[in-house]
Amino acid sequence: MYRGRSAFDHLLWLARANRVPRARVGEVLETVGLGDAARGRAGTFSLGMTQRLGIAAALLGDPPVLLLDEPVNGLDPEGVLWIRGLLKTLAAEGRTVFFSSHLMGETALTAERLVVIGQGRLLADTTVRRFVEDNARSHVRLRTPEPGRMREALVRAGIQAGTAEDGSLEVHGVEAARLGELAAANGVTLHEVSTQSPSLEEAFMRLTGAGDDAAHRERSGRR
């Protein structure tokens, strides 16, 4: 966009070029929260305001299908909440809303369905919840001042445990209630027994092997 042009005029020429009514310009500026800045020069906008202006341009023609690339880029926490609500509102109106993002946490909070593409191949096309369930496992975290005794009790019960960086024990495939009862039966003090749900990021890394690829590149770089 021309940096010396106002936000209103930037959208106005787009509207005229695409036979969109002039009234629509004011509507989308209000939708994205730029109503008070409509006459401000686009070149003076912050990154977040520029992002909002781009979204306004995308909404100008009232499209049934919306495709946004990294829509939260440059937005402050308030703006992130705003765009999340906007996308859900647009979808609730019956539109199809696609957005790409490298922010897994935000994707998990916003999207209903997930499409994962890696190395030119379609790796997944499913709901966010199903994707996480299929590609990552939850585990139980045990935090105790007696990790040695707790581990011995687990071994006697035929249960394997890993050790996290903070020294807590991680157990897969066993319910938290059973582990708590096992600790009580063996007189082991527990400070925490909690089920840790896997994140979308963990599931993505496991499916794509992105973590292994990064480690390989790092080792290759050192060599």
SS (H, E, C) 105-163: HHHHHHCCEEEEEECCEEEEEEEHHHHHHHHCCCEEEEECCCHHHHHHHHHHCCCCCEE
Helix (H) or strand (E) holding 82: helix 77-92
DSSP state of 6: B
Under 8 Å between Cβ of 15 and 24: yes
Give first-to-last CA distance, the chain, whole Å: 45
pLDDT tens, residue by residue, 90-145: 999 999 999 988 888 888 888 889 998 888 889 999 998 889 888 877 889 999 99
Q: DSSP 3-state assignment of 190?
A: coil
Report d(CA 204, CA 35) in Å as an integer: 39
Q: What is the mean pLDDT of the chain?
A: 87
Q: Residue 26, exposed/middle/buried by CB under 10 A (0-12, 13-18, 19+)?
A: middle
Average pLDDT over residues 189-193: 94
Could you tell me the strand order of the sheet in which 139-143 lies? 162-163, 169-172, 139-143, 192-196
pTM of the model: 0.66
DSSP state of 42: G
pLDDT tens, residue by residue, 2-30: 788 899 999 999 999 999 999 999 999 99
Average pLDDT over residues 76-103: 90
